[in-house]
Structure 1
Amino acid sequence: MQRRLAAEFLGTFWLVFGGCGAAVFSAAFPQYGIGFTGVAFAFGLTVLTMAYAVGHISGGHFNPAVTLGLWAAGRCANKHVLPYIAVQLAGAICASAVLWTIASGQPGWEPKGFAANGYGALSPGHYSIGACFLTELILTFFFLMIIVGTTSKGAAVGFAGIPIGLGLTLIHLIAIPVTNTSVNPARSTAPALFAGGAYIGQLWMFWLAPLAGAMLAGYLARILYGPADVIDTVVTRARPA
């Protein structure tokens, strides 16, 4: 279990540090030219790289919604759920703390939203709460369907990390203007704690919508894909826990 938790901590740290770091550092400077597209690829690459680096140890969840969704699909053992979520949050918060420390080393730096998620006035495009909720619900649903489908029996062995990483990239290309893209409560919680104020007040939605979407996908996956062993990795496919 300790190896699993360490892998989840490192994977979630890298996701937040890489994805949010691209938003805080590179996207803040138009002359670098990465924009929304660069940030979307940064998030996808974090999952792709860590899926292959530590996915064979913990399953490569790096996201409480993924953990709950796989549990709903019968592919994550009960004993792993709460410990995984705890270390995912810890990894995300540590990554945000490091980002804050680095970013504050620049003279005159202002945190602004610090890559946090939001709706209404805090949405990059000022989308309504209903639009943001629906976006997060649907995108998390399909993210879980990609994860479950590519790690099911009959899927190509050893390649799941690629569609999962590209799927997360696509999700960000869609949702950055709407919510700044969550689909991951740990990713949302950590930056919000540093951005403070209204961002913390809106966190409820970036837990509720992703968890609901993930669990809906998990229950549907039981019908689509049938019985499966508890999944151990997004890279090499299912084996008993």
Structure 2
Amino acid sequence: MCDSKKYLAELLGTFVLVFVGTGSAVVAGKSVGFLGIALAFGISVLVMVYTIGSISGCHINPAITVAMLADKKIGSKDAALYIVAQCIGAIIASLLLLGIMTGLPGYDLAVNGLGQNGYGVASPGGFSLLSGFIAEVVFTFIFIMVVFGSTSRAAPAGFAGLAIGLALAMIHIVCIPITGTSVNPARSLGPALVAGGTALSQLWMFILAPVIGALVAAAVWRYLFEAKTGAA
């Protein structure tokens, strides 16, 4: 397979995740609520696993790519290019979403936002930096463990997309009030770069915390579970 197809698949998949996920918050958040937003993110991942999983593995998340690199399931070159592609896809999604929202009378980017993540004054529920950091580390850890487990050789074939999508929806249900839910640095990067301001100044946390959670998950999976389940 041509390597460029893998990178384009990651770009497309991340685009869909961010465009639909943050779009549900910005466009339909008042109608569907946190549960609807959570389902939008989860369903986006679910459908993309079955769309591009056979091409790139459907990481569409730098945290997953970092975890796979740590567990030696992907090489450093592919990992770097996957992350670049994911970030580009997220930025394109946010730019297009902003283009749509500017057509809505009364929409103000500074007031209404673009589905960006945040803590403190930018947290949907007013949660502190420490609360947000802990939540992002722990929920990323849980998410990556589901990814490892559902894609292992011992797992039932064909159900990884369902498990991963439901896991992301589950995580969003709890985490949206805390930070808006990242567990994905690319998902945070796109809206933050376009929205600027507080979102951009707080972006560091939504890069650092998911990466920490991903690395812990990779270590736990590799040294406690991988040999027992016969994972690839």
Q: State the TM-score, normalized to the length of structure 1.
A: 0.91
In structure 2, the residue matched to 1:13 is: 15
Classify 1:72/1:228 alpha carbon distance in 2 versus 1 (closer, same or farther; 3 Å).
farther
Large movers: runs of 4+ above 3 Å: none
Distance 1:162 1:73 in 2: 23
The letter of the residue matching 2:12 is: L
Residue 196 (structure 1) shift: 1.0
Does structure 1 residue 199 correspond to structure 2 residue 199? Answer: yes
Residue 227 (structure 1) shift: 9.0
In structure 1, the residue matched to 2:118 is: 118
Residue 75 (structure 1) shift: 1.6
Distance 1:141 1:38 in 2: 23
Residue 107 (structure 1) shift: 1.5
Distance 1:9 1:122 in 2: 28
Render the CA deviation track for 1:166-217: whole Å, top value 9, x for unaligned: 0000010010000000000000011011211111010000000000000110
In structure 2, the residue matched to 1:170 is: 170
Contact 2:154 2:229 in 1 (8 A): no
Alignment of 1:140-155 (within 5 A): 140-155=140-155
CA RMSD of aligned residues (A): 1.5
Residue 108 (structure 1) shift: 1.6
Alignment of 1:30-49 (within 5 A): 30=30, 32=31, 34-49=32-47
Which region of structure 1 is more displaced relative to structure 2, 104-113 or 5-14?
104-113
Contact 2:18 2:187 in 1 (8 A): yes
In structure 1, the residue matched to 2:51 is: 53
The letter of the residue matching 1:208 is: L
Identity of aligned residues (%): 47
In structure 1, the residue matched to 2:226 is: 225
Classify 1:164/1:79 alpha carbon distance in 2 versus 1 (closer, same or farther; 3 Å).
same
Q: State the TM-score, normalized to the length of structure 2.
A: 0.95
Which region of structure 1 is more displaced relative to structure 2, 214-223 or 178-187?
214-223
The count of corresponding residues between Structure 1 and Structure 2 is 227
In structure 2, the residue matched to 1:62 is: 60
Structure 2 residues without counterparts, runs of 5 or longer: none
Does structure 1 residue 210 correspond to structure 2 residue 210? Answer: yes
Structure with the bigger percentage of helix: 2
Contact 1:74 1:222 in 2 (8 A): no
Residue 228 (structure 1) shift: 9.3
Counterpart pick for 1:97 among 86, 95, 98: 95
For 1:226, what is the secondary structure of its paired residue? helix
Distance 2:27 2:126 in 1: 23
Distance 1:136 1:83 in 2: 24
In structure 2, the residue matched to 1:128 is: 128
